[in-house]
Chains A and B, each alone.
Chain A
Amino acid sequence: MQVLLSVVASVVSATTALGAVPAPPPPPTSVTAVDVPWDAGGVIEISWIAPAGSADARWLIERLTLTDAAGDEEKWVVVAEVPLGATSHTVSKLSLRGAHSFRMTAIDATGMGTPSATTKPVRAAANFFIGAKLSLFLGIILVSTCVIVCILLARGGRPLRIRRIAALDAVDNAVGRATEMGRPILFVAGIQDMDNISTVAGITVLGHVAKTAAEYDATIQVPTSRSLVMEAAREAVQASYLSAGRSDSYNPDLIRYITDEQFGFVAYVSGLMVREKPATCFYMGCFFAESLILAETGNSIGAIQIAGTAESSQLPFFVAACDYTLIGEEFFAASAYLSKEPDQMGSLKGQDVAKFLTAVVIIVGVVLATLAALAPTGAMPGALTWFKGVFGS
């Protein structure tokens, strides 16, 4: 035992004598904290000049928040751990109240080093506009301008040609078929609430289908999976019956709330289909896994089926199982297409113009990317980078 202790003591003394005691790297210098401009607030970017260090070392970034309120606890909190090679880091989700100071410390297998100088307190302020969303904002402005200009042109009496949409042309026939067969029409407006634009679009289509059903004296059943959708659907159908002059035929009990539970709702609707055998089924709204269950059940009872959804992952199922499917923007065009009003037709034309402009941007991007790949040393890569910066986010 004594021998072992003497060996350890000699090793320690030898190491000390050589001055090779392992220690963490020194702290970084010039640590600065800057509020990120043009953001929603709560984000500060920290940058520093890093000294050399061992491979397994990393930086600990600590934050001290000085709040305006008296009595708040002020203490250093570790907010991030970054690799030694990094020279900057963005700290997010910071409080908008108070100012934040930062310091950095190296840490490795030997322990923690000394902390760097503390940065000046910085506020993570919110700015007037979120710069990262500029291209999206300009895109919305551009599309909106196209739509508004085309609405004004349509109001001015300019004839607008809109391509035929087979699924919407089939609505009258589908409702007529249900009337002839003496069977009900089933309308499902998806499984989401009224804060989902697909559900709103579904309810707008329901208004038109209900009006046709009222004119043909057909029965329309609308099971819903949200209470608010039930109320909106009742309003839409009631207004449609009133507009068709058949308010006496309106039955609110045919528009009913079932359950919020996805597959509970599917079980009810599938059962309803098998029992009542509707001649026509409409699926217009936001659908997920239940899309195929509903459409296949409808197919098995021989119903004519028209579907429309903005969920691109569910479109193949509807295409496979339904007679007609509204794909992509066709679903959102349904209300305007069915109403035939100049204002709405103008908005459809505006949508088409915006699509044309989008196609132009895509083609220019493809050409630029191809040229940049063919000539990587010319001006094209720079042009492509600029193009991505403008249209990329």
Chain B
Amino acid sequence: MRRLIPMWIAIIAGFAMLFSAFFPVTEFFGETFGEIFSVVAAIAYVLGAGSLAKINLAKISRRDQGWGYSAITLFCFAATLFVGLGKIGVPPNAQFAALPWSGEKNAEGSAFAWIYEYGLVPITSTMFALLAFYVASAAFRAFRAKNLEAILLLSTAFIVLLGRTFAGVVLTGWFPDWASGLRLENLSVYIMQVFNTAGNRAIIIGIALGVTATSLRILLGVDRSWMGSGGNS
């Protein structure tokens, strides 16, 4: 029964969403299940917060290595929660000026907006910036000319990269008109529009078929492994 009920919920909700995409009369059911999902996801936040608190508190109480970071995590979590729920520093909504809590929690000037703007954004931007270095190291490894395929990849990447810079125009801009197709900027566009698009579309078609088959397996109850391997038995 523990497996049967989730499976039937998935089947009914899945078919409702599928039909609502094609039959307007069933749109209501699709929208309703979408709203139910949002409510369930919101309730699950409590479980997530509980997991976060439990694991970090245990780490602090055991004095595990790096327990200080757990303390900082919990402090920041609690502070953000307090500031957000309490709407600290939120200017009242113009329509309800007499009610101090009528404004949006992330309105300009609120403590929540301040934490977001001066705390979260710089930290996440820093993590995102690391990507540049990772791209460089991955490209260095991927473009090593180890075999014929790697040499082809390296050559193609070289043409595309050069073709998208001023250097490409400078290097091959003098080619006569009858050989303009060989100019790096034109070659780059040709590679991206023909070879890259063809390969990308092949992958996307495969993904679409895979999504359809996977959805069908779940809707027909053939694949129950999303409930765990035991679900198949």
Interface residues of A (CB under 8 A from B): 39-41, 126-130, 133, 136-137, 140, 143-144, 147-148, 151, 193-195, 197, 200-201, 203-204, 207-208, 210-211, 226-228, 230-232, 235-240, 242-244, 253, 256-258, 261-264, 266-267, 275, 289, 292-293, 295-296, 299, 310, 312, 315, 317, 319-321, 327-333, 335-336, 339, 341, 343-344, 347-348, 350-351, 354-355, 358
Residues of A within 8 A of B131 (CB): 289, 292-293
Interface string of B7-43 (1 = CB under 8 A from A): 0000000000000011111010000000001001100
Interface residues of B (CB under 8 A from A): 21-25, 27, 37, 40-41, 44-49, 51-52, 54-55, 58, 66, 120, 123-124, 127-128, 130-131, 134-135, 137-139, 141-142, 200, 202-207, 209-218, 220, 222-223, 225-233
CB distance from B39 to the nearest CB of A (A): 11
A-B contact pairs, 25 of them (CB 8 A): A126-B25, A128-B25, A130-B22, A143-B209, A144-B216, A148-B220, A193-B41, A200-B226, A208-B229, A235-B227, A236-B226, A239-B231, A240-B230, A257-B52, A263-B127, A267-B123, A267-B127, A293-B127, A295-B138, A332-B213, A332-B214, A344-B217, A344-B223, A350-B213, A354-B212
Q: Please classify the interface of chain A as helix (H, G, I), strand (E, B), loop, or mixed, using the class held by over half of its residues.
A: helix
Q: Given A227-B45, A321-B138: A355 and B216 within 8 A (CB)?
A: no
Q: Given A126-B25, A230-B48: A253 and B213 within 8 A (CB)?
A: no
| Alpha-carbon distance between A204 and B229 when the two chains are bound, in angstroms | 8
Additional 7 contacts, C-beta under 8 A, given A239-B228, A256-B51, A332-B214: A227-B47, A236-B229, A256-B52, A320-B142, A329-B206, A329-B210, A332-B207
Residues of B within 8 A of A151 (CB): 220, 222
Which one of A148, A227, A321 has the highest number of Cβ atoms from chain B below 10 Å of its Cβ? Answer: A227
Residues of A within 8 A of B216 (CB): 143-144, 147-148, 347
CB distance from A300 to the nearest CB of B (A): 8
Cβ–Cβ contact B207 & A328, under 8 A: yes
Cβ–Cβ contact A236 & B214, under 8 A: no
Q: Given A147-B213, A336-B223: A341 and B232 within 8 A (CB)?
A: yes
| Alpha-carbon distance between A169 and B149 when the two chains are bound, in angstroms | 24
User: 5 closest Cβ contacts across the A-B interface?
Assistant: A239-B228, A227-B48, A332-B210, A328-B206, A329-B210
Q: Given A227-B45, A292-B134, A293-B130: A240 and B209 within 8 A (CB)?
A: no
Residues of B within 8 A of A263 (CB): 123-124, 127-128
Q: Given A257-B48, A344-B217: A204 and B225 within 8 A (CB)?
A: yes
CB distance from B129 to the nearest CB of A (A): 10
Cβ–Cβ contact A333 & B210, under 8 A: yes
Q: Please classify the interface of chain B as helix (H, G, I), strand (E, B), loop, or mixed, using the class held by over half of its residues.
A: helix
| Alpha-carbon distance between A321 and B20 when the two chains are bound, in angstroms | 40
Cβ–Cβ contact A128 & B24, under 8 A: yes
Cβ–Cβ contact B209 & A358, under 8 A: yes
- In-complex Cβ contact of B41 among A228, A238, A331, A351 (8 A): A228
Residues of A within 8 A of B49 (CB): 227, 257
Cβ–Cβ contact B213 & A257, under 8 A: no
Residues of A within 8 A of B120 (CB): 261, 264
Cβ–Cβ contact B138 & A317, under 8 A: yes
Cβ–Cβ contact B228 & A355, under 8 A: no
